[in-house]
Structure 1
Amino acid sequence: MFVKTFPEVAADPGICRQVLSDSPNLMVVAFRFQEAGAEGKLHHHPHVQSTYVESGQFRFTIDGSEFEVGPGDSFIIPSGARHGCVCLTPGTLIDTFTPRRDDFL
C-alpha cells in the first residue's frame, strides 16, 4: 500500500485545506474552518462533489438555494453548480471530488 502525506494549506481566510487521498478519478479533501464567519466563496467547477460534515455547523448555497447542515450530514453538489458556504460553528468538511481536482495538488 502506498500512502502519501499532503500538507495543509490556506484556502480562504480562516480555512485550511488538506488533500487526504487522491487518484486520477477521485480525491478526498478536508476543509478545516477555524472560525465562525469563515466563507467558502461562491464558485463552480466541472467536478461532482460529495460533502460530509465531520463537525461544525454550516450554511450552504447551491444554485441559489440555501440550507444548513451539521455533524453527520452529507449531500452532493452536481457538476457545474454554483456553490459556497459560511461557517456558523467551527468544524471540518470532508469533500470528495470526481474526477480529481488537479488544482489542489
Structure 2
Amino acid sequence: MTNPFVKTFPAVDAGNHVTRQVLSDSPELMVVSFTFAEGGVGSRHNHPHIQSTYVQSGRFEFFIGDDTFEVGPGDSFVIPSLAFHGCRVLEPGVLIDTFTPRRDDFL
C-alpha cells in the first residue's frame, strides 16, 4: 500500500559540484537537500521565496547582500525574499533549505 503523504524525488545535478534533491513539497512550502562536493559553489542569485537554511554538515562561506559569514554544522539562518545570496564550500557537506512558497522551478 502506498502512502499518499510520502513522495520520492530524484537527486539532480544542479551544476557547480552541487546535487539537489527535493525532500518534500506543497504549494506553500518546500524542503530541499543540497549536497556540495569539494569546489562546490552556490552561484549568487535571488528569488521571491523566503529561504531558511540549516547546515547539516560541512562548512560554507555565505554571501547575503553585502554581508559575508561562515557557517558550520547546526547553524541556521533566514534569507529574505529577493536578497542576493550564494555560497562556496570550505568543507564538503549538506545544506537543508526550506522555501516558502514552494520553488516550482525545482519540480
Fold match by TM threshold 0.5: yes
Shift of 1:12: 1.9
- Aligned-pair CA distance for 1:13: 2.0
Q: Distance in 2 between matches of 1:68 and 1:13?
A: 19
TM-score, scaled to structure 2: 0.95
Aligned partner letter, 2:57: S
- Is 2:34 aligned against 1:14? no
Q: Which amino acid aligns with 1:100?
A: R
Paired with 2:88 and 2:25, the residues of 1 have a C-alpha distance of: 26
Moved runs in structure 1, 4+ residues, more than 6 A? none
| One of 63, 67, 71 as aligned partner of 2:65 | 63
What SS is found at the alignment partner of 1:81? coil
Listed one character per residue, the Cα deviations across residues 24-49 of structure 1 (whole Å, up to 9, x for unaligned) are: 000000000011x2110000000000
TM-score (norm 1): 0.97
Greater percentage in strand: 2
SS of corresponding position for 2:16:
coil
Distance between the aligned counterparts of 1:100 and 1:86, measured in 2?
Answer: 24
How many aligned residue pairs are there?
Answer: 104
- 1:8 is matched by which residue type in structure 2? A
Distance in 1 between residues matched to 2:87 and 2:93, nearest whole Å = 12
Aligned to 1:95: 97
- Return the offset for 1:90: 0.4
1:5 deviation in Å? 0.2
Unpaired runs of 5+ residues, structure 2, are: none
For 1:103, what is the secondary structure of its paired residue? helix
State how far apart, in whole Å, the 1-side matches of 2:83 and 2:16 are. 23
User: Counterpart of 1:55 in 2: which secondary structure?
Assistant: strand
